[in-house]
Structure 1
């Protein structure tokens, strides 16, 4: 039986094994994930299971002091204080992921 056959026929057992191998290599590191729809997320790879990888990321729409923060500060990568969330990304929806480097070499 092929995993995820009802979700995406192109996703194979080999793809799943490659994702798991990369997850083991980058566990607890700051990574960047690009989804099939082109959206990109950065966070700390917290864990993974057979179906998903889980990133620690700031919760959307949260700000430290809502009355004094302006919209330009919402684009910050991580606020220094404030709640973070654990977000799951299904492997079949991931185009690629790897370590995040905020600079060009």
Structure 2
């Protein structure tokens, strides 16, 4: 398995890209080839965070979501920069 080491310059570029696409619908491709779409919520020094539909629904989560319906079936997921191959805006439709 190939591991990519990002330099400070690469991380800086990813931070700038995060600032530019903050609160937009983006697609993230990881080094393992998996792809995720969601709203870019925030970022810190090590990760970018997407709001996406919850991946695993459990009975406990369903009962707690009734107490807080504004969360709905969504969660906040973090993706470490070292695992991100590429990300950018996602356009699921044609204009």
Normalization by structure 2: what TM-score? 0.77
State the partner residue of 2:19.
24
Q: Which aligned segments of 4 or more residues in structure 1 are displaced greater than 3 angstroms?
A: none
* Structure 1 residues without counterparts, runs of 5 or longer: 1-7, 63-80
* Structure 2 residues without counterparts, runs of 5 or longer: 58-70
SS of residue paired to 2:82: helix
Give the structure with the higher percent helix. 2
Give CA-to-partner distance per residue, 1:33-52, whole Å, 9 cap, x none: 00000000000000000000
Structure number with bigger Rg? 1
Provide the C-alpha distance between the structure 2 equivalents of 1:10 and 1:43, rounded to a whole number of angstroms. Answer: 25
Structure 1 residue 41 and structure 2 residue 36: aligned?
yes
SS of residue paired to 2:72: coil
Structure 1 residue 95 and structure 2 residue 85: aligned?
yes
Question: Alignment RMSD, CA only?
Answer: 2.0
Provide the C-alpha distance between the structure 2 equivalents of 1:45 and 1:14, rounded to a whole number of angstroms. Answer: 21
Post-superposition shift, 1:60? 1.1
SS of residue paired to 2:10: helix
